[in-house]
Structure 1
Amino acid sequence: MKNFFLPVAALLMLFSCQNDTAETTSEASAVSQRGCATQEVLAAQMKADPSLALRMNKIEAFTEKAMLAGRLVNGKVEIPVVVNVLYRTAAENITDAQIQSQIDVLNEDFNATNSDFSSTPALFSGVAANVGITFVLETINRKSTTKTSWGTRDAMKKTKQGGLDPTSPTTSLNIWACTIGGGILGYAQFPGGSTATDGVVVDSKYFGLSGSGAYPYNLGRTATHEVGHWMNLRHIWGDATCGSDLVSDTPTHNTANYGVPAYPHYSTCSGTPVEMTMNYMDYTDDRGMYMFSNGQKSRMAAIFVAGGARAGFGV
């Protein structure tokens, strides 16, 4: 059984080992492996605001209590989405159709209607989840910029720094589509952070069904992965060798997986379990990830109940 609670000291130790990600001024020529800067961004936020660890610990305690008590919203959450497009080139000014394709992917992936959900191996079919949370596109904001890349210091979320401030962040999911740089496909803010920077950032090249040019990250799964973080999911390997993602029904992973690993892929961690490489919270290619687990569903649902970190979205 995995541990569901991390003391403050453990949280600080876990995230202090992550390097701060500097704002990137040039874009890598190609991205060969998925890069998510969520943990690095969290480390920087904790360094700037030590009280964040305390808030996240309270959220973790509430999450555990909500799951144990069965006080879960269970599919009664509809998420209004605000998409903020920051563009320098015509290609970065992604179309309304591409934006809607991302909303469609989120709805499919979080409701287990994605066509590849049926590929879930028999070993995991009993825990493969229909999360039952839906997304509705509310607003698209667009802004022309001279920036070639935005980095991971949240500048895109601040009008005073050339970006766009979030719209109604306590009741709307803000997603920024822009060029991040540094090989980073996206990043998210965990529950507990400042509302002034709350939301998800996805590089515009990997936003929605973005075409063959963004292969193998062209199926909209970067946003699925990052929204998972926004809903309090950790990377499935726990960001440590044989670490914990605080979910009981996901196998212990050695570390991140890339590409599309052949099934079964065995862990060398205790018990040598078959790794759930097709989980959205791994680092596999878009075509290689296609499921959440029931434990992850319970963890996500817990933040939307009364008293939860994102209760403003609940019923």
Structure 2
Amino acid sequence: MKKLSVLAAGSLLLLFGCSKSVSDKQTKQEDAVVETNNTTLRSCFSYEVLEENIKADPTIKKRMDEIEKFTQKVLENPSAYKLVNGVMEVPVQVNVLWRTSAENISDAQIQSQIDVLNEDFGATNSDYSLTPALFQGARSGDTKIRFIWTSANTTRKQTSKNSWGTRDAMKKSKQGGIDPTSPATTLNMWVCTIGGGILGYAQFPGGSLATDGVVIDSKYFGRVGTATAPYGLGRTATHEIGHYFNLRHIWGDATCGNDGVSDTPTHNTSNGGCPTYPHYSTCAGNPVEMTMNYMDYTYDACMYMFTAGQASRMQATYAIGGPRASLIP
């Protein structure tokens, strides 16, 4: 495991957007995937998204620098900050933008995504037990984050758009989208056709409340209905909400980079497909890479854990004074 150094605050300032290049359904998806790093990969254009947002609002970088400093203080001395005792329940608003009837996903499909999130963040997912012995000591167990949604917390809007892109148009009624509902106190999720093979993207803490939340393509949302293999088990939302709670990609968005978490191994870069375990890094010490971590790019059927360090980093966002503290009633 890598040693966590005090990171330059600016090194963590990324917004994340991910793109495409257990149940019977999970078993079928596992059967369909190929054990390789070179097929149907997720990929990110996060730096480009960040540049555009900072160009439009240069204060974002300053806010994110301050959030990173605050996060490090909480991680170094958590007893000095009041954290939620027990479980933090996050209200969820789902905004569905649809052109075809298939894109107007059902309440059942939305509920399946909420179920996935509660399993993955609560470590009750059936594949959690697959964690290799090497990493079992680092597993987070329950992150103490839960997601609350009812059909009343859904806004649906028919549109003529074939795709929405990654410039947040889907979050703005003036551009044909749906404005977020109470973003300071509610996690907003937009479900639409993003285009370009993009699975989803998230706004990191520190951005504008007017665009805060995550966007998931309807083909990769939940695990029933339109959910499509190999990203049809709801893990795109798990990954993106990790970013929403201040997690970086596990490879630190750089060759042998640092994700700001002490108990994740150093990765060369992202991993795709379903790598055969053990998959060794060529970084210093040749550690075994944690390819089953939600913050890598592997197929949905092949990612199934957060680490304790990742859980602590997420929990720091809702300590008093944290960027997600307003989610707590």
Same fold (TM over 0.5): yes
Structure 1 residue 34, shift from structure 2 partner: 1.8
Tell me: CA distance 1:226–1:74, structure 2 relative to 1, closer, same or farther (3 Å): farther
- The answer for the alignment partner of 1:113 in structure 2 is 124
What is the DSSP-based 3-state SS (H/G/I as helix, E as strand, rest coil) of the residue aligned with 2:215?
strand
Query: Are residues 1:196 and 2:210 paired?
Result: yes
What is the DSSP-based 3-state SS (H/G/I as helix, E as strand, rest coil) of the residue aligned with 2:149?
strand
Tell me: CA distance 1:257–1:74, structure 2 relative to 1, closer, same or farther (3 Å): farther
- The answer for the alignment partner of 2:34 in structure 1 is none
Contact 1:243–1:252 at 8 Å: present in 2 too? yes
Structure 1 residue 51, shift from structure 2 partner: 1.8
Contact 1:37–1:187 at 8 Å: present in 2 too? no
Residue correspondence of structure 1 range 87-236 to structure 2 within 5 A: 87-129=98-140, 130-138=142-150, 139-210=153-224, 214-236=228-250
Q: State the alpha-carbon separation in 2 of the partners of residues 120 and 74 from structure 1.
A: 27
Q: State the alpha-carbon separation in 2 of the partners of residues 211 and 115 from structure 1.
A: 21
Structure 1 residue 74, shift from structure 2 partner: 5.7
Query: Are residues 1:300 and 2:314 paired?
Result: yes
Structure 1 residue 47, shift from structure 2 partner: 2.5
Q: State the alpha-carbon separation in 2 of the partners of residues 4 and 213 from structure 1.
A: 40
> Residue 203 of structure 1 aligns to which amino acid in structure 2?
D
Structure 1 residue 49, shift from structure 2 partner: 1.9
Identity among equivalent positions (%) equals 64
- Which structure 2 segments of 5+ residues have no match? 22-38
- The answer for the alignment partner of 2:89 in structure 1 is 78
Contact 2:280–2:289 at 8 Å: present in 1 too? yes
What is the DSSP-based 3-state SS (H/G/I as helix, E as strand, rest coil) of the residue aligned with 1:306?
coil
Q: State the alpha-carbon separation in 2 of the partners of residues 171 and 36 from structure 1.
A: 28
Q: State the alpha-carbon separation in 1 of the partners of residues 227 and 242 from structure 2.
A: 25
More displaced stretch, 68-77 vs 202-211:
68-77
Structure 1 residue 76, shift from structure 2 partner: 2.9
Structure 1 residue 183, shift from structure 2 partner: 1.3
Q: State the alpha-carbon separation in 1 of the partners of residues 304 and 85 from structure 2.
A: 20
Query: Are residues 1:60 and 2:71 paired?
Result: no
What is the DSSP-based 3-state SS (H/G/I as helix, E as strand, rest coil) of the residue aligned with 2:206?
coil
Q: State the alpha-carbon separation in 2 of the partners of residues 292 and 258 from structure 1.
A: 17
Residue correspondence of structure 1 range 26-37 to structure 2 within 5 A: 32-37=40-45
- The answer for the alignment partner of 1:288 in structure 2 is 302
Q: State the alpha-carbon separation in 1 of the partners of residues 235 and 299 from structure 2.
A: 8
Alignment coverage as a number of residue pairs: 304
Q: State the alpha-carbon separation in 1 of the partners of residues 223 and 44 from structure 2.
A: 19
Contact 1:75–1:133 at 8 Å: present in 2 too? no
Q: State the alpha-carbon separation in 2 of the partners of residues 137 and 37 from structure 1.
A: 30
Q: State the alpha-carbon separation in 2 of the partners of residues 291 and 135 from structure 1.
A: 17
Contact 1:170–1:312 at 8 Å: present in 2 too? yes
Structure 1 residue 37, shift from structure 2 partner: 4.6
Tell me: CA distance 1:166–1:213, structure 2 relative to 1, closer, same or farther (3 Å): closer
- Which structure 1 segments of 5+ residues have no match? 22-26
- The answer for the alignment partner of 1:45 in structure 2 is 53
- The answer for the alignment partner of 1:243 in structure 2 is 257
> Residue 164 of structure 2 aligns to which amino acid in structure 1?
W
- The answer for the alignment partner of 2:293 in structure 1 is 279
With normalisation by structure 2, the TM-score equals 0.87
With normalisation by structure 1, the TM-score equals 0.91
Q: State the alpha-carbon separation in 1 of the partners of residues 134 and 278 from structure 2.
A: 10
Contact 2:221–2:227 at 8 Å: present in 1 too? no
What is the DSSP-based 3-state SS (H/G/I as helix, E as strand, rest coil) of the residue aligned with 2:144?
coil
